[in-house]
Amino acid sequence: MSTSAGSSSPAETEFRRISEAEWTWRLQELGSQFYWGQEVDARLPDVSAPAWLARGEHWRSVKEELAGLDTAALSARARVDLAVYLTQIEALIAHVEHRVFERPMNSDTAFWTDHQGLARVSMTYEQAQAFLEQLRQLPRWFDQHIENMRTGLRRGFAPPRVAMAGREGTARSVAEATSADHVAYLRPFTDLPATVGVERRRDLISAATAVIEQTVIPAYAALLDFLLTEYLPGLPEDVSVAATPGGTDFYRAQLREYTTTDLDPQEIHRIGLAEVASIRAEMAQVAEEAGFDDAATMREFMRTDPQFYVDTPAQLLKEAAWQCKLFDAVVHQFFGLVPRGRFGIIEPPPDLAPYYTAGRGGRDRYTLNTYNLPARPLYALPALTLHEAAPGHAFQSAFAAEAEQNPDYRREVYISAYGEGWALYCERLGVEMGIYRTPFEMMGMLSYQMWRAARLVIDPGIHALGWSRERAQDFLRQNTALSEHEITTEVDRYITWPGQAASYYLGQLAILELRRHAERTLGEHFDLRHFHDVILGLGSVPLEVLRTEVERAVAARATRVHNDGAR
């Protein structure tokens, strides 16, 4: 385990003891495979209600221990670690208090799709053996989730029905498979490294085939039956989480977790309206320069002209790869340090793709959705790639993993306001990088900026201000160049995943504000590469920590500049 240097005071030693012990326990309790960069476990965690309630008690006791620390005796580095760590503990406590484990699926993902994602990870022979043990435990794990969902359904704590149509498809694809050969779970065993001997490979594939056919497929069949006959038909009608038991408090807790701020829904909504107005003005200027009467006319042209669309998934994947190389050509002009880790470009599974976002980035992959190619315009690809791949999520998450000076809970846990804020900032950074080569790509970037600003309007609009699904869709339609397919899937995502959508733009605003502060303070001595290195070097942190640490780094640099000038 990585730890920070400088543990000298008794308070700091005690903090390290508390946090390191809890992190080890957390990995054991929740399954380390669900955290980036960890090994594949040979077990699936206990997700029953008693287990979750016991975890909540443990996290509350950890918080009490932290409250007893003499924080004045902590080093500057330890105070940052504590702020990040405490944010995590408070979010975990809130999850248990609001019984989020009773709502383990939304329109975007579900507990079983997360598990299916493990099957797309390249594994060693030992990891594949551990994964096989997991598959043997799948019926118990599914049954626990199903019981939790029944409890949530009984009290009305479940995602709205209208936004969940068809979401059983990712379970159906496994439940109705006729053999293991048609199930993605077999892939880790058939794709073992060449160094694994033929006999060991054959034996493991044979064992996996039997488990998939005799255990995994029947478990999915039971899950599918529950979804079709009980869960999906019983979902609530109201699209607002405020209509669920304790929904208003739950929504505020979700906003606090995802934005790491205490902004109330009305204030977030107001910020969103102001940003939407500002981006409208930018769009109008781009449209005028491109020879269109207004932005709406230009967006309609972009939605319908065939020049902006490809005919095959391979074409879209190749275009994305080229966009990645455009960034590689300028990376050292904007970053002093770059991560060692690299990423590949993949497609989402076919059964998930109809409901999946346009793209998603992670430490070793950029997942690009090639489903419904008329909904995947080329003019959006530069911004999407900067956000999801490099220097966005794939770049930032690799950077965080390699920051060995930080404790593991800072390297492996993702904070949405920071990560999504950074990725959205990277879309804007593409202007300075020269990535956007046509007014249509500029409008595509602005449409993506508008999309995230609109989330600040729509998310609290739905969950606090009484907006309907149709009103939210109309707002996106009137202000962005998103396709109809994306408008539908995105609004359904906000409906079923309250609060998460507000993190993006608030995070970007914080980074832009800090950049302006650094530019004003340092003047001609401002170094954009150093600014970016400071942000990425922190790893995933709450926005208040980001502000404090960047301002501290800027002040230190200003002092060095002043002292050098004095000499």
Q: Concatenate the DSSP letters of all residues of 75-138 into one string.
A: -HHHHHHHHHHHHHHHHHHHHHHTTGGG--B-SS-BHHHHHHHHTTS---HHHHHHHHHHHHTH
Highest mean pLDDT among 2-16, 54-68, 402-416: 54-68
Q: Which residues contact 77 (CB under 8 A, 6 or more apart)?
A: 4, 5, 6
Average per-residue pLDDT for the chain: 94
pLDDT band at 2 (very low <50, low <70, confident <90, very high): very low
Give the three-state DSSP class for 304: helix
Round to the nearest angstrom and report the end-to-end CA distance of the chain. Answer: 43
pLDDT at 564 over 90: no
What are the helix (H) ranges across 176-246?
Answer: 187-190, 198-211, 217-226, 232-234
pLDDT at 485 over 50: yes
Quick one: what percent of the chain has pLDDT higher than 90? 87
Q: What is the dihedral of CA 485, 486, 488, 489, to 10 degrees?
A: 110
* Helix (H) or strand (E) segment spanning residue 368: strand 365-368
Q: Which of 97-106, 240-249, 254-263, 356-365 has the lowest mean pLDDT?
A: 356-365
pLDDT at 32 over 80: no
Q: 345 — phi, psi (to 5°)?
A: -115, 125
Please list, residue by residue across 521-555, b when 16 or more beta carbons sit within 10 angstroms of its beta carbon and e when fewer do. Answer: ebeebbebebbbbbbbebbbbbbebbbbbbeebbe
Query: Which is it for the CA torsion 555, 560, 565, 567, positive or negative?
Result: positive
pLDDT at 343 over 50: yes
Rounded CA gap, 461 and 22, in Å?
38
With beta carbons less than 8 A apart as the criterion, state whether 280 and 479 touch.
Answer: yes
With beta carbons less than 8 A apart as the criterion, state whether 75 and 116 touch.
Answer: no
Rounded CA gap, 318 and 337, in Å?
27
Q: What is the pLDDT of residue 194?
A: 87
Q: Which amino acid is at 134?
A: Q
pLDDT digits (tens, 9 = 90+) for 191-247: 999 899 999 999 999 999 999 999 999 999 999 999 999 999 999 999 999 999 999
* Tokens 């005919």, located at residue: 311
pLDDT at 567 over 60: no
pTM for this entry: 0.93
Quick one: what percent of the chain has pLDDT higher than 70? 97
With beta carbons less than 8 A apart as the criterion, state whether 220 and 175 touch.
Answer: yes
pLDDT digits (tens, 9 = 90+) for 291-334: 999 999 999 999 999 999 999 999 999 999 999 999 999 999 99
pLDDT at 6 over 50: no
- Mean pLDDT, to the nearest integer, of 426-450? 97
pLDDT at 473 over 80: yes
pLDDT digits (tens, 9 = 90+) for 366-401: 999 999 999 999 999 999 999 999 999 999 999 998
Rounded CA gap, 465 and 265, in Å?
8
pLDDT at 34 over 80: no
- Mean pLDDT, to the nearest integer, of 73-91? 96
pLDDT band at 566 (very low <50, low <70, confident <90, very high): low
With beta carbons less than 8 A apart as the criterion, state whether 473 and 491 touch.
Answer: yes
- Mean pLDDT, to the nearest integer, of 84-101? 97
Q: What is the pLDDT of residue 68?
A: 96
Give the three-state DSSP class for 366: strand
